[in-house]
């Protein structure tokens, strides 16, 4: 999770294998396990059930905020929750940039703010919205586009766009988010399937469409 602390780094030819291992064992399996544990805690309340999709209910679980951030930390390869949030929203392109910008969030908080309150995702979301530039640079045309079927109702999703990855299930693609939850289904595109690790995919909730762009060399970690 801290690249600069590693004694060994993959060669350019090994990057794909390393990414595949991390994707299967950390981004998917570990995130799925953590999500399941948190779900058990959220459901362990017979008198006043906690609604998993309502963030205002989460504090009643009695868990510190960092417990809810663990999946994102695994997914984005950082120890900094604010950086993971910025990466998930697409507000920053690299971990280094996200971690540097995260310090701006902490600097904006009142002195002596309780450590747990600093990691309240609601406060981080408000700060990110307030500091996001009003105009964004137009992106390059997409390399891949596919209409999909959402596996949940649209109004459940907190964001209009979600970063996703395809996995093969029953002869088709199931699109999972970075936490390992399936969010959409669609047919396999054979041309893209052979080089799927070279793409960054985004699910547009409003238009039920997945778009993909090939990674550029300067964007690789």
d(CA 31, CA 72): 8
Tell me the pLDDT tens digit for each residue of 65-122.
Answer: 998 888 888 878 888 999 999 988 888 888 889 999 999 999 999 988 999 999 999 9
The strand pairing partners of 204, in sequence order, are 161, 209
Domain ranges of the chain: 12-131, 144-219
pLDDT > 60? residue 219: no
Query: Which single residue is written with the structure tokens 């910008």?
Result: 101
Residues 3-20: pLDDT tens digits?
Answer: 666 677 777 777 778 777
CA distances 19 to 1, 113, 194, Å, are 13, 37, 15
Give 65's contacts (C-beta < 8 A, 6+ positions apart): 81, 116, 119, 120, 121
């Amino acid at each position: 999770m801290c690249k600069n602390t590693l004694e060994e780094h993959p060669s350019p030819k090994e990057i794909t294998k390393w990414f595949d291992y991390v994707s299967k064992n950390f981004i998917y399996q570990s995130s799925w396990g953590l999500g399941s544990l948190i779900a058990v805690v959220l459901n362990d309340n017979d008198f006043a059930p906690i609604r998993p999709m309502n963030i205002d209910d989460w504090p009643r679980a009695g868990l510190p905020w960092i417990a809810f951030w663990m999946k994102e930390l695994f997914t984005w390869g950082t120890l900094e929750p604010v950086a993971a949030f910025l990466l998930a929203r697409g507000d920053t392109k690299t971990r280094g940039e996200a971690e540097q910008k995260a310090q701006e969030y902490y600097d904006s908080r009142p002195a002596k703010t309780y450590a747990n309150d600093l990691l309240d995702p609601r406060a981080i979301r408000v700060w990110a919205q307030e500091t996001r530039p009003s105009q964004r640079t137009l992106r390059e045309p997409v390399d891949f586009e596919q209409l999909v079927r959402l596996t949940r109702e649209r109004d459940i999703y907190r964001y209009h766009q979600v970063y996703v990855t395809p996995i093969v299930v029953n002869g088709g693609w199931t699109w999972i988010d970075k936490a390992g939850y399936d969010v959409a289904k669609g047919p396999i595109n054979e041309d893209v399937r052979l080089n799927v690790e070279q793409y960054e995919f985004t699910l547009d909730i409003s238009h039920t469409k997945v778009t993909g762009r090939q990674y550029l060399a300067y964007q690789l970690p």
